[in-house]
Amino acid sequence: AQYQTTAYRASILHFVDDPAVSQTPYEYYEDGVLVVGTDGKVKAVGPANTVLNNYPYIQVVDYSGKILMPGFIDSHVHYPQTEMIASFGEQLLDWLNTYTFPTEQQFSNKTYAKSVAKTFINELVRNGTTTALVFGTVSPNSVDALFEEAQTRNMRLIAGKVMMDRNAPDYLLDTPASSYTDSKALIQKWHKNGRALYAVTPRFAPTSTPEQLAKAGQLLREFPDVYMHTHLSENKAEIAWVQSLFPSSTGYLDVYNSFGLSRNRSVYAHGVHLRDDEFQSLAQTGAAIAFCPTSNMFLGSGLFNLQKAEQYGVKVGLGTDVGAGTSFNALQTMNEAYKMTQLRKAFVDDPSTVNPLKAIKAYYLATLGAARALSLENQVGSFKIGNEADFVVINPNATDLLKFRMQKTNTIEDKLFVLQMLGDDRAIQNTYVMGKKQTVNGYGSGYYQYT
């Protein structure tokens, strides 16, 4: 028979709203079906019996016993730093000088950039991540290499060339004029080319002159639907440095705001040390925060206040921030997010005011929450009809310990929490992009399929 569409049968979970504002933030079908059209988009989702009645001749791929959910979205990651993940001993500013800048120098070589881009995209796939907002380097070659590699899998990826014209080694500097011209050419080449999207990417306030930040603002005015991607308020020494470089600003976020960089599709990594008025400003402008727990703890940056972001209605997505982050894996990132909220209790006056991160919120932040932070809610992050069918098949019994522990769980929320604490790439059985099963070196995504 000629099949029009494919049905995936599994325990299906996806979000319809933020657990912070809705009593029914997710849909869960213990025996569910996801129907994907030949166009790679979601046609239906629901209980297996009901949905399959409507598609009597459909091809069914059976993932019974597995959990199928939207592919994870990484709201902030540096692909050139893949090779320097887990570099010892420094906090942000020394870490940049010691490890990051020398590493990023290599990416003016397109062949080199391509090989790292391939490894990076493979890691995303192996970890069930189907969309990411990605830093390149200052070299336009780095961005071409990444988008070319992403295109071989038709991935929805957002990326940009770093703009950086001071306070870094000469070999990594551009100028306000060249960063404008190079970024513009990349926008014209890649933005909305297939599923690719472009992000204007000033590295962070200390490495751009006011003239360059003005150019970034100009690009956003000329191309209103591109992204803006940078770092904000990550580390205390960094914040003090920003104040000395921009003495007339009222704070770190004010520097970006004064160049028109905050609006929807603006994403600020970290925001660990934001003031209340800065949270309020983010909510008002529509800019989002990428919450990067493994990085914040690895670099000793601090403990992000997720509850405050919720109170002010600031959009938040989960990010890995590799190579300051220590894992590409969303489950492991959620694991550390949970521990961060626990640890916050040790540092506040009244511990009872801090609520440990619930599993359901963590998975939201890695899927629909991140999609909303990236203004991609109508493309990815949930199984809304018509969305692009990027999804991950998770094996909740992937390791001996997971299997043993899962026997003692009852609800799906219990299972998700155990998976978040004990799961890693071994639990990622398969990753699908636009309804297409992905392989890495000829294998499916999961670790056990290599062995």
Comparison of 282 and 422: residue with beta carbon closer to ligand GUN: 282
3-class secondary structure, 381: coil
Q: Within positions 319 to 338, which residues make up the interface with ligand GUN, using CB under 6 A?
A: 321, 324
Smallest distance from ligand GUN to CB 375, Å: 23
Q: Of ligand GUN, Fe ion, none, which one does residue 100 interact with (CB within 5 to 8 Å by kind)?
A: ligand GUN
What is the distance, to the nearest Å, from the Cα of residue 212 to the centroid of all Cα atoms in its chain? 26
Q: Which residue has the tokens 């000329």?
A: 222
Comparison of 304 and 391: residue with beta carbon closer to ligand GUN: 304
Instruction: Name the burial class of residue 260, with classes exposed (0-12), middle (13-18) and buried (19+) by CB atoms within 10 angstroms of its CB.
Output: middle
For ligand GUN, what does the binding mask look like between residues 98 and 137, x meaning CB under 6 A?
--x-------------------------------------
For ligand GUN, what does the binding mask look like between residues 186 and 205, x meaning CB under 6 A?
-----------------xx-
Comparison of 34 and 292: residue with beta carbon closer to Fe ion: 292
Backbone angles phi, psi at 116, to 5 degrees: -70, -40
Comparison of 183 and 235: residue with beta carbon closer to ligand GUN: 235
Q: Of Fe ion, ligand GUN, none, which one does residue 203 interact with (CB within 5 to 8 Å by kind)?
A: ligand GUN
3-class secondary structure, 320: coil
Two structure tokens written together for 160: 């940009």
- With b meaning 16 or more CB within 10 Å and e meaning fewer, what string describes 27-65? ebbeebbbbbeeeebbbbbbebeebbeebeebeebebee
User: Which H/E stretch holds residue 179?
Assistant: helix 176-190
CA pair distance 392, 88, nearest whole angstrom: 32
Q: Of ligand GUN, Fe ion, none, which one does residue 180 interact with (CB within 5 to 8 Å by kind)?
A: none
What angle, 0 to 180 degrees and rounded to 10, lies between the N-to-C axes of helices 330-344 and 359-366? 130
Smallest distance from ligand GUN to CB 206, Å: 8
CA pair distance 292, 299, nearest whole angstrom: 11
Q: Does 425 bind Fe ion (CB under 5 A)?
A: no
Q: Which stretch binds ligand GUN (CB under 6 A): 92-100, 141-149, 394-402, 424-432?
A: 92-100
Two structure tokens written together for 72: 């994870």
Q: Of ligand GUN, Fe ion, none, which one does residue 126 interact with (CB within 5 to 8 Å by kind)?
A: none
Q: Does 74 bind Fe ion (CB under 5 A)?
A: no
Among 144, 278, 321, 388, binds Fe ion (CB under 5 A): 321
Q: Of ligand GUN, Fe ion, none, which one does residue 234 interact with (CB within 5 to 8 Å by kind)?
A: ligand GUN
Q: Does 96 bind ligand GUN (CB under 6 A)?
A: yes
Total chain residues near Fe ion (CB under 5 A): 2
For ligand GUN, what does the binding mask look like between residues 273 and 302, x meaning CB under 6 A?
----------------------x-------
CA pair distance 113, 96, nearest whole angstrom: 19
SS in 3 state form for 56-116? CCCEEEEEEEEEEEECEEEEEEEHHHHHHCCCCCCCHHHHHHHHHHHHHHHHHCHHHHHHH
Comparison of 96 and 373: residue with beta carbon closer to ligand GUN: 96
How crowded is residue 366: how many other Cβ atoms within 10 Å of its Cβ?
A: 31
Two structure tokens written together for 93: 């500013």
CA pair distance 246, 210, nearest whole angstrom: 8
Total chain residues near ligand GUN (CB under 6 A): 11
Among 14, 43, 66, 78, binds ligand GUN (CB under 6 A): 78
Q: Which residue has the tokens 């969303």?
A: 330
User: Where on the phi/psi map is residue 441: left (φ > 0), alpha (ψ -120 to 50), or beta?
Assistant: left
Q: Within positions 206 to 235, which residues make up the interface with ligand GUN, using CB under 6 A?
A: 231, 234
Residue, CB closest to ligand GUN: 324
Alpha helices in 207-251 (DSSP H): 210-222, 236-245
Comparison of 299 and 434: residue with beta carbon closer to ligand GUN: 299
Comparison of 103 and 387: residue with beta carbon closer to ligand GUN: 103
Among 138, 269, 316, 366, binds Fe ion (CB under 5 A): 269
Smallest distance from ligand GUN to CB 79, Å: 11
CA pair distance 375, 240, nearest whole angstrom: 31
- Contact yes or no for 380/389 (Cβ under 8 A): no
Residues within the interface to ligand GUN (CB under 6 A): 78, 92, 96, 100, 203-204, 231, 234, 295, 321, 324
Residues within the interface to Fe ion (CB under 5 A): 269, 321
